Structure 1
Amino acid sequence: MTHDLTPHLDIALRHAPPGSTVTSIPRVEIGVGQASSGKAPCLYRSMICFILQGSKRVAINDNLLSYDSAQYLISALDLPLTGEILDAPSGQPYVAVSLVLDPAILAELAATMPPVRENDPKGIGIAINPMTAPLRDTLLRLLSLLDTPADIPVLAPMIERELLYRLLQGPQGRLLRQIAQPEGALGRIRRAAGWIRDNYNTRLRIEALCDASGMSRASLHRHFLAMTGLSPLQYQKQLRLQEARQLLLAGEHSASDVAFAVGYESASQFSREYFRQFGAPPARDARQIRRKIGAAA
């Protein structure tokens, strides 16, 4: 961690206990955790992530991205990834701040900037870029509002717009502008991914995805794989398994009940795919996680 982020870190740790904290600033969350013992599936929403302490490695198919406080990450659409938190200095916790992207604000800001001719983005919808001093300063002013909550309704929208403006000017401004263009390829794939999220526990219907995205079957598959690293069916399976894990951790349902709740027609198929994803059968995996949580408390 660089000394430039010390004040950011102090504020974050004052306002966020271990785990994920939804702050009083709209769309801003703080995550505090320890180094993980291995890779764990996670869902990256359409967001910007700034690491304040520690580092993280994420994998999506064959793409491996590592970043720390010297970079920020942009996820242009909701992406099921495999993530691994790495050690922070002297065993200190990993701390990160995320800002969920609002396409309407991005569109409004992009409309005030000089027009740029560009084609649809090529490649996956996630990128890592170097952190800059103006971004650090703007992020600090945004986090500082947690100490003066009465200022949030008036000042947070202005600082959020400034932060997004600076990001639009950065190396991934092109990717962010695509989020604000619903008829571009990225916007269409975002709609298809949204349909899958809303219907993850039902049979995947490619015709419905084509209708939601306004794409042909061939174009949908090509762009979906390019931007998410997954086929629509693989994307749905990742969402099902992550939701199943959350239901199992709640401890209110059996593994077979959870299997049917998330859309599996066979409890045995669910158990096989869960084991391949998380490295343990459903019930045992949930017990192991609960034990780790209890030991850390």
Structure 2
Amino acid sequence: MVEDYRELVKPLAQRVLLCCKKSGDHESQVQKLSMHIRSAPTEPLHCIYTLSLAVVLQGTKQISIDNEILFCSAGQTMLTTFDLPLISHVTEASRHHPFVGMLVKLDYNLILQTAAELNLSKPAKQSVTKSISIHHIDAGLTDALSRLFSLEYDANLRDSLAPLIEKEIVIRLLQGPHAETLTRLAFEGSASSQIVKAVSWLKTNFMRPIEINELAERVHMSASSFRQHFKSTTGTSPLQYLKTLRLQEAREQMLINGLDANQASGVVGYESPSQFSREYSRLFGLPPQKDIQRLKLS
């Protein structure tokens, strides 16, 4: 059965390789679509996955989130419904058989609209669904992704057809194995919807001092309920999520803008450089200066 799923996506993998001849990340001419090629296994990378559908066409990727290890291999799809801090790396790839992946960014409003049009049943309030799900692809979704990728070569039809195919993809997700995860996101008033709002607010305000109780009040939840649902949907606590956002931003400031550790720690809201260094080392495995040196050499 596994071979069947791999065979299903093999033609699309070959087309992507013909289009993207070099290892790396390739933005498509089609908005919200990107292709990802790796010719060798990669080092574990701390990153944040947004609301999106990732499809592995060839090779294998490993994802670690809150001490849970997940694998996504050829013929499988991974849906992420929140901005999740996690560790990701390609584990199966070579020069002759590279890792090939596609990523489609999903639109929250389109999901809400489509769920309403389909008249889907509202999920039970007490049910808890994780914000990341991995399932085998099917022929219908493979065909839709193939047609979306084909618009890379058709500028005349790209703008008019891409939104229609994106909606088809959302419909297939809402009625396929990812349905439970995505349906929960679609219903305003559910705990997951409130966590989406909290995460969105955190992303733009993480540099300022934040009390978790204040954040719970913003989304009209009690502090205890907020912590419980945040943990169940993002895989981490609100405080750890906030720390990860700050440390990721500090890392980018040092790597891209040339800030030193003291400058970066202040930019992202740390009052104590020593605390920043300790938490940075705990997350990334090395002190700031050594980590940035490693990244520049890799």
Distance apart, 1:138 and its partner CA: 0.9
Distance of aligned partners of 1:229 and 1:115 in 2 relative to their CA distance in 1, 3 Å threshold: closer
Whether the 8 Å CA contact 1:59–1:81 is kept in 2: the answer is yes
Does 1:221 find its partner at 2:227? yes
2:206 pairs with one of 200, 204, 220: 200
Please name the residue that 2:116 is paired with: 111
SS at match of 1:222: helix
1:264 pairs with one of 250, 267, 270: 270
Q: Distance in 2 between matches of 1:233 and 1:132?
A: 38
SS at match of 1:276: helix
Distance apart, 1:91 and its partner CA: 5.2
Please name the residue that 1:59 is paired with: 64
Q: Distance in 2 between matches of 1:230 and 1:115?
A: 29
Distance apart, 1:8 and its partner CA: 2.1
SS at match of 2:46: strand
Distance of aligned partners of 1:184 and 1:224 in 2 relative to their CA distance in 1, 3 Å threshold: same
Distance of aligned partners of 1:155 and 1:123 in 2 relative to their CA distance in 1, 3 Å threshold: closer
Whether the 8 Å CA contact 2:38–2:93 is kept in 1: the answer is no
The one-letter amino acid of 1:12's match is V
SS at match of 1:246: helix
- Provide structure 2 residue ranges, at least 5 long, that are not aligned to the other structure: none
After TM superposition, the structure 1 stretch with the greater mean CA deviation from structure 2, 275-284 or 220-229, is 275-284
After TM superposition, the structure 1 stretch with the greater mean CA deviation from structure 2, 81-90 or 219-228, is 81-90
SS at match of 2:292: helix
Q: Distance in 1 between matches of 2:194 and 2:26?
A: 31
Whether the 8 Å CA contact 2:58–2:75 is kept in 1: the answer is no
After TM superposition, the structure 1 stretch with the greater mean CA deviation from structure 2, 183-192 or 207-216, is 207-216
Whether the 8 Å CA contact 2:62–2:91 is kept in 1: the answer is yes
The one-letter amino acid of 2:264's match is V
After TM superposition, the structure 1 stretch with the greater mean CA deviation from structure 2, 36-45 or 162-171, is 36-45
Does 1:69 find its partner at 2:74? yes
Q: TM-score, normalized by length of structure 2? A: 0.91
Question: Deviation per CA, 1:2-44, whole angstroms, max 9, x where unpaired?
Answer: 3432332244331475433332322222222344454321111
Q: TM-score, normalized by length of structure 1? A: 0.91
1:99 pairs with one of 101, 104, 114: 104
Q: Distance in 2 between matches of 1:198 and 1:135?
A: 34
Distance apart, 1:279 and its partner CA: 1.6
The one-letter amino acid of 1:42's match is C
Please name the residue that 1:85 is paired with: 90
After TM superposition, the structure 1 stretch with the greater mean CA deviation from structure 2, 182-191 or 20-29, is 20-29
SS at match of 1:110: helix
2:16 pairs with one of 12, 28, 36: 12
Task: Calculate percent identity across the aligned residue pairs.
Answer: 33
Indicate the RMSD between aligned Cα atoms, in angstroms: 2.0
Q: Distance in 2 between matches of 1:15 and 1:33?
A: 11
SS at match of 2:209: coil
Whether the 8 Å CA contact 2:58–2:74 is kept in 1: the answer is yes
Does 1:183 find its partner at 2:185? no
Aligned residues: 292
Whether the 8 Å CA contact 1:34–1:87 is kept in 2: the answer is no
2:136 pairs with one of 130, 140, 150: 130
Please name the residue that 2:34 is paired with: 29
- Provide structure 1 residue ranges, at least 5 long, that are not aligned to the other structure: 293-297
The one-letter amino acid of 2:232's match is A
Please name the residue that 2:255 is paired with: 249
The one-letter amino acid of 2:149's match is L
After TM superposition, the structure 1 stretch with the greater mean CA deviation from structure 2, 114-123 or 164-173, is 114-123
Distance of aligned partners of 1:55 and 1:264 in 2 relative to their CA distance in 1, 3 Å threshold: same
Whether the 8 Å CA contact 1:51–1:97 is kept in 2: the answer is yes
The one-letter amino acid of 1:147's match is Y
